[in-house]
């Protein structure tokens, strides 16, 4: 919900040369429409508040020379590059006014239940532990391959188009798993699809989401909310994995498990509808000529560290843990 800050006439000094809207006056989510200034001395907003906000300007070139943005730049609390968008970009749909967590919540819910349902479904089809392991491994190898492909060639397409394609692939994956019973077709679908046996965000959606979130001015807060909501939604999804047991009184267990993959496909359609609201912003519009530069060594060291962590995490995937519990 968006709140609007209202000030009385006595609070406002039209020729103010020091801000009168302080950071302490404003709660998260509040909307402020600053009047602006006609010279570089006038000021309305605390530079600390401006640095913590999602800033939209009429014209960034002008705002950086006079008014509140100018004072925040002089104070060193933010730079011109930290401006989220110009008003014309939002009206034209090239940038979003606010980042939405709805897609993450819905998608993480599906990842949460599918990680547990997957081994149960494969066992119900008559497959053995080794086959379940192969299919779980194929899902991760496919996700890693698609992530590398997005990093290498994704800049040629808009992020909106890539996300819509991934959502359609998610729906197709659910339909294919619900309709197939043989090992080899399921192995192929697992590799090229979006199934996630870890219940965390480890699919092709993750790098695309992060690209969108990186445009927010309050990146730390946005990423924190993204991770928190995704984790909570995944936990609720894991709880929903018990639905086949409840449906077992009306359907066979295999039919009930198939319905969970139909639900997964329906979530993919819902995510596709949510992604339709995204602006057609091109992934490579602000692509730097040297993507990493001096930070390349740090990135490679972090990647090596994450690889070790992921290797250990791969030994206790949710799907494999569920398999162990099912087979006890």
Using pLDDT thresholds of 50, 70 and 90, give the confidence band for residue 6. Answer: very low
Using pLDDT thresholds of 50, 70 and 90, give the confidence band for residue 269. Answer: very high
Provide the token pair at 89: 């970009």
The alpha-helical segments, DSSP class H, found in 12-158 are 47-51, 60-63, 68-75, 87-91, 102-124, 129-153
- The answer to the question of residue 97 being in a domain is no
- The answer to the question of residue 150 being in a domain is yes
Residue 199, helix vs strand vs coil:
coil
**How far is it, in rounded angstroms, from Cα 72 to Cα 59?**
16
Tell me which of 137 and 199 has the higher pLDDT: 137
**Position of tokens 């390349």?**
296
| Same domain for 130 and 27 | no
Q: What is the pLDDT of residue 87?
A: 66
Three-class SS of 119-183: HHHHHHCCCCHHHHHHHHHHHHHHHHHHHHHHHHHHHHCEHHHHHHHHHHHHHHHHHHHHHCCCH
- The answer to the question of residue 81 being in a domain is yes
| Same domain for 33 and 125 | no
The distance between the two most distant Cα atoms of the chain, rounded to a whole number of Å, is 78
| Same domain for 290 and 177 | yes
Q: What is the pLDDT of residue 281?
A: 54
Mean pLDDT of 63-76: 75
Q: Of the segments 149-163, 211-225, 231-245, which one has the largest average pLDDT value?
A: 231-245
Which of 91, 119, 143 is where one domain is finished?
91
Mean pLDDT of 43-61: 74
| Residue ranges making up the domain that contains 22 | 3-91
pLDDT in tens, 248-264: 778 899 999 999 999 99
Mean pLDDT of 55-68: 74
pLDDT in tens, 132-190: 889 988 998 998 898 888 888 887 888 888 989 999 999 999 999 999 999 999 999 99
CA distances from 196 to 139, 207, 320 (A): 6, 15, 12
Q: Is residue 206 predicted with pLDDT exceeding 60?
A: yes
CB atoms closer than 10 angstroms to residue 236: 13
Using pLDDT thresholds of 50, 70 and 90, give the confidence band for residue 122. Answer: very high
- The answer to the question of residue 304 being in a domain is no
Q: pTM score, two decimals?
A: 0.68
């Amino acid at each position: 919900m968006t709140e609007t800050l209202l000030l009385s006439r006595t609070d406002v000094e039209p020729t103010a040369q020091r801000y009168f809207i302080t950071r302490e006056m404003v709660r998260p989510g509040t909307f402020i429409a600053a009047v602006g200034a006609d010279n570089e001395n006038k000021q309305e907003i605390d530079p600390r508040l401006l640095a913590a906000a999602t800033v939209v300007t009429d014209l960034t070139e002008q705002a950086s020379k006079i008014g509140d943005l100018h004072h925040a730049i002089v104070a060193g609390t933010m730079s011109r590059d930290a401006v989220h968008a110009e008003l014309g970009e939002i009206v034209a749909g090239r940038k979003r006014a606010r980042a939405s967590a709805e897609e993450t919540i819905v998608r993480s819910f599906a990842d949460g239940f599918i990680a547990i349902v997957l081994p149960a479904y494969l066992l119900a089809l008559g497959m053995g532990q080794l086959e379940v392991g192969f299919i779980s491994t194929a899902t991760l190898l496919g996700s890693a391959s698609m992530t590398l492909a997005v990093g290498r060639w994704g800049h040629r397409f808009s992020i909106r188009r890539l996300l819509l394609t991934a959502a359609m692939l998610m729906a197709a994956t659910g339909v294919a798993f619900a309709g197939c019973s043989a090992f080899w077709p399921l192995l192929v679908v697992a590799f090229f699809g979006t199934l996630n046996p870890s219940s965390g965000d480890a699919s092709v959606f993750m790098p695309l989401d992060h690209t969108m979130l990186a445009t927010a001015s309050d990146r730390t807060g946005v990423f924190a909310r993204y991770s928190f909501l995704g984790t909570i939604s995944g936990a609720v999804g894991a709880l929903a994995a018990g639905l086949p047991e409840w449906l077992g009184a009306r359907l066979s267990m295999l039919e009930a498990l198939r319905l969970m993959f139909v639900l997964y496909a329906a979530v993919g359609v819902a995510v596709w509808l949510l992604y339709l609201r995204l602006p057609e912003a091109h992934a490579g519009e602000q692509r730097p000529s040297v993507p990493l530069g001096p930070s390349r060594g740090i990135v490679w060291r972090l990647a090596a560290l994450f690889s070790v962590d992921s290797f250990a995490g791969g030994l206790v995937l949710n799907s494999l843990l569920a398999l162990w519990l099912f087979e006890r």
